[in-house]
Amino acid sequence: MSDDAVKLSAAEAIERIRGGDLAPDELFSAYRQRIEDHNDELGAFLWTAPGAAGGTDGPLAGVPLAVKDLFCTEGVPTTAGSRILEGHEPLYTATAVRRLAAAGAPMIGKTNMDEFAMGSSNENSGYGIVRNPWDPERVPGGSSGGSAAAVAAGLAPWAIGTDTGGSIRQPAALCGIVGLKPTYGAISRYGMVAFASSLDQCGPLTRTVTDAALLLTELVGHDPCDSTSLGLPEPVRLPSRTDLEGLRFGVPNELNSSAEGVEEGVGRAFDRTLDVIRDLGGEVVDVALPHAPHGIAAYYVIAPAEASSNLARYDGVRFGHRAGNGTLLDLYEQTREEGFGAEVKRRIMLGTFALSAGYYEAYYGRAQRVRTKIADDFRTAFADCDLIVTPTSPTVAFRLGERTDNPLAMYLSDYCTVPMSLAGIPAISIPAGLAQPADGSGPDRGLPVGLQIAGPAFSENGILDAAHALERAIGFDVTGAMP
Amino acid sequence: MSRELSTVLDHIEKIAELDLDGVPPTTHVIEVENVMRPDEPRPSWPVEHVLEPSPEATEAGFRVPSPGQ
């Protein structure tokens, strides 16, 4: 098996398998070999499957899937990137993973991530860093950094991740692939280790927009095990649009190429895609999201508050790591002291502070009101446009270690993605080109820039269609970083 | 860590700048109607299965040190 098969998009691989030109087990073995050859350097996988489990006759034809280690998998180690869950083997499998396996996408491995999905660089993993395939001295983004790096480096044809404030879209942007965060509730969260339950959403990381639609088709749906899951009101369509005639694209004044923190190279690539939109017949209009600049502040109250409650379950009693040999209180304290990393402790403290008596209204209460304002802003903006476009990340991939001592700088990586999460609306990131970081220190060819396309709740089909037309016109080479 | 937390808290204070009088807090981002299902008993996992991932278990439950020791 040559490396050619691993350069195929998943849709192309499915077509070859159906035509009898490619056997699913050959494809699985080819990817297993790629993981063996490159994972030591990249750090993308924490566990790899010995063989393909499940049938290959479903719509996904046996094309293997990488799964973020936040998804519970029965009898397979599930750590959420945390030492507190080292060696933990869940008793059940997440609905998302089960649905994809049943559709013919067997799990090839579990991918590295920021601990409990808290981070934007994958440097908060309890199991080591992940390197960006475009430049090994740079971060892949996070928290779904392992999934993004695996897909970009050709160690998996596609992957699933989770997005709470940008954890699918930002790593997809930094690694030059496609990442979709669906409408809140489109996909079941059952078996997804909870971080901030009012924001967490599963979604695909793929090399093409069509591949994202293929995974989304199988992922969406109501699940009796998650009462917040809704599915989508209409079936997912495979995107086919090649022009943007009749569509209005809103560019928010607060999140455009001259917004605070947006690198010059990223801004230029973004403005070029606005020209592409016009060339394809789309209209570009200015819109306002006046509360978007307060998104990060509101998010870093709401998400840590929910996390401080969700993470109370890691106490060393029922599963995972246990430490301490004195009283029950020793057991709790020692277990959590040893098991959690610095960022998780930071967020638990922030969250408990924001929820404490006397501060609750000033922090949590106000943040939930800001959230209402941000959702209202989007509703107003969508009266004047069909879709909203922004850069996905204000910067290209930054250097390893560059932001680890400055949590706020790290949090601002999600400046453009957090508002959509707070509003619960769907958004995709697609590669928009290559650019240099602000200090010009990137590799000669540059580093990937992501374009974010957001729409109203349940507008996944419209987003996928527009993304497909743009992907085709931009012509980005997603295999450009494969070793 | 206190310095890092202070920087973050200073940024969070931005939400105090806004006039939010009369703005309802978000409780759920997507408008949904509650749906009830019949409350029928269903089989659950056997106790010993649920105890499998426990760091320390007895035949009847999770074992922990005494709170008072």
**Nearest one of A434, A314, A331 to B66, comparing CA atoms:** A331
Q: Which residue of A has its CA nearest to B3?
A: A406
Q: Which chain B residues have a beta carbon less than 8 Å from that of A457?
A: 30
Does the beta carbon of A349 lie under 8 angstroms from any beta carbon of chain B? yes
- The answer, for A457 touching chain B at a CB cutoff of 8 Å, is yes
pLDDT of residue A3: 65
Q: Spell out, as residue ranges, where chain A has pLDDT lower than 70.
A: 1-3
CB–CB of A372 and B26 under 8 A?
yes
Q: Do B5 and A346 touch (CB under 8 A)?
A: yes
Cβ pair B29:A366 closer than 8 A: no
Round the average pLDDT of chain B to a whole number and report it: 90
Q: ipTM score here?
A: 0.94
**Which residue in the set A296, A326, A375 is minimally distant from B11, CB to CB?**
A296
Task: Check CB contact of B26 with chain A, cutoff 8 Å.
Answer: yes
Q: Does any domain span residue A409?
A: no
Has residue A336 been placed in a domain?
Answer: yes
A71 in a domain, yes or no?
Answer: no
Say if the Cβ atoms of A297 and B11 lie within 8 Å. Answer: yes
In a domain, A188, yes or no: no
Percentage above 90 pLDDT, chain B: 68
- Across the A:B interface, residue pairs with CB atoms under 8 Å apart total 130
Residue to test with chain B: of A368, A410, A459, most B Cβ within 10 A: A368
Cβ-defined contact of B8 to A296 (cutoff 8 Å) = no
Q: Which tens digits make up the pLDDT trace of A296-337? A: 999 999 999 999 999 999 999 999 999 988 899 999 999 999
A424 inside domain: no
Q: How far apart are CA A438 and CA A197, in angstroms?
A: 35
**Does A76 lie at the interface with B, CB-CB under 8 angstroms?**
no
CB of A233 less than 8 A from some CB of B: no
Domain total of chain A = 1
Q: Which pLDDT score is estimated for A338?
A: 97
**Residue B32 pLDDT grade (very low, low, confident, very high; cuts 50, 70, 90):** confident
Q: Is B29 on the interface with A (CB under 8 A)?
A: yes
**In-domain check, residue A250:** no
- Separation between Cα atoms, residue A166 and residue A179, nearest integer Å: 10
CB of A230 within 8 A of CB of A185?
Answer: yes
Vertex A325, ends A320 and A326: CA angle to 5°?
Answer: 125
Quick check: is A298 in a domain? yes
A308 is in which domain, residue-wise?
293-367
- Chain B residues with CB under 8 Å of A319 CB are 53-55
Three-state SS for A412-468 is HHHCCCHHHHHHCCCEEEEEEEEECCCCCCCCCCCEEEEEEEECCCCCHHHHHHHHH
Q: Whole-model pTM? A: 0.97
Q: Are A198 and B29 in contact (CB under 8 A)?
A: yes
Q: What is the pLDDT of residue A47?
A: 98
Chain B residues lying within 8 Å of A316, measured CB to CB: 55
Task: Decide if A373 touches B, using CB distance below 8 A.
Answer: yes
Catalytic residues of A: 68, 143, 167
**Chain B residues within 8 A of A185 when measuring between CB atoms:** 30, 32
Answer for the pair A185, A218: CB distance below 8 angstroms, yes or no.
Answer: no
Q: Give yes or no for residue B37 having a pLDDT over 90.
A: no
A338 falls within a domain: yes
| pLDDT at residue A108, rounded to an integer | 98
> Residue A35 and residue A30: Cα distance in Å, rounded?
9
